[in-house]
Amino acid sequence: YIHSVNCPSKETEMAPPQQRRGTISSFRRQKTSQWTRLVYHRIGVAQAAVFIFVIVITYHALKQRAGRGAIVQELIRQVSQIEGSGPIVAHLSSLSKETTTSNARTTKDVRMRALKWIEVDTYGNQYRENELVNLVQRYALAVLYFSTGGDETWNKCSRDLRSPCDDGDKESGITRFLSDTSSECRWYGVGCHENKIIWLDLTNINLHGTIMDELSLLPELQSLWLSENRNLGGTLAESIGELKQLQSISLFNTSIGGTIPERLFELGKLSSLRIYGSEFTGSIPSRVGEAKEMAWMWLHDNRLTGTIPREIANLSKLEGLTIHGNDVRKTTQEID
């Protein structure tokens, strides 16, 4: 456009002043008109570019949202295959239908925070079709993390880089909890066998909060050690009975209370129960005699009441039992 504008000719410059002014005025109008068309053209191109940019961003956002929805549905499918997971499946299905616009770090619903984390979990999303990656395990651990103050109170290997961690030691293979670049089997405090979680050891790292039912989504768990966390409270849910492989439970020196779940003694492999120095109440369940493998049962310094159940005599492998520091009386019947 600029180069196509005609400059005043020599004849125009030699013309009388009045005629020359008219010719120059016409020239200026022509030049202004062409500049206007040029500006309008460029604005049109810019608007088109912005429009295309918005379309592309919207497309990728919708595609990403669809992908995340597929991951949540896959999580629900995997959870539904675990025995006794009905209530958890119902809760997940309800959450998946909600509009989750709140920030994952600020929402008060820890299950929602865990679900939103699963949606953006780089490792889980990239390798979710690989049999070595278990969405259920990652979700269960995410719920545990958020329900015990992971971002706010953990003093070791949380997502907060200010908390100390051995993740810089390549030989140890340890990574921070909720690392989205590694398997959950490499997270601090997690132990696996054949990519299935078999132990959790989060002793003395300043857990704040409660243990939620999602822990029952780890059916191969053999050892659960959450001791020396005074701000870990709530109760021990009956869903603990779904962990059929549990052999050792250590919850001593916590603020966990309520009654001792009867289903705890359905666990046929449980050999060690250390819950002393906590806030457990009520009586020792008579079903204690069903825990045939029980060798160590340390219940002292709680707020237990009632009498020592006679069924304890059925624990033929019992080597140690501590009940002092409670309001528990001896049974009126002799225990053989």
Under 8 Å between Cβ of 252 and 276:
yes
How far apart, in Å, do the first and last CA atoms of the chain sit? 108
For residues 184 and 176, give the distance between their C-alpha atoms in angstroms, rounded to a whole number: 9
* Burial class of residue 330 in the structure, from the number of CB atoms within 10 Å of its CB (0-12 exposed, 13-18 middle, 19+ buried): exposed
Name residues whose C-beta falls within 8 Å of residue 124's C-beta, 6 or more positions apart in sequence. Answer: 71, 118, 133, 135, 138, 180
H helices of 187-281, in order, are none
Encoded amino acid at 301, one letter: D
Q: Name beta bridge partners: 196.
A: 193
- On the CB side of 313, CA atoms within 13 Å amount to 8
Percent of the chain with pLDDT over 70: 69
Instruction: Report how far Cα 336 is from the mean position of its chain's Cα atoms.
Output: 49
Residue pLDDT, tens place only, 221-264: 999 999 999 999 999 999 999 999 999 999 999 999 999 999 99
pLDDT of residue 1: 42
Under 8 Å between Cβ of 206 and 229:
yes
Mean pLDDT on 298-321:
95
For residues 260 and 237, give the distance between their C-alpha atoms in angstroms, rounded to a whole number: 9
DSSP code string of 103-158: -TTT-S-HHHHHHHHHHH-HHHHHHTTSTT--HHHHHHHHHHHHHTTTTTT--SSS
Higher pLDDT pick, 20 / 215 = 215
* Stated pTM of the model: 0.75
pLDDT of residue 35: 60
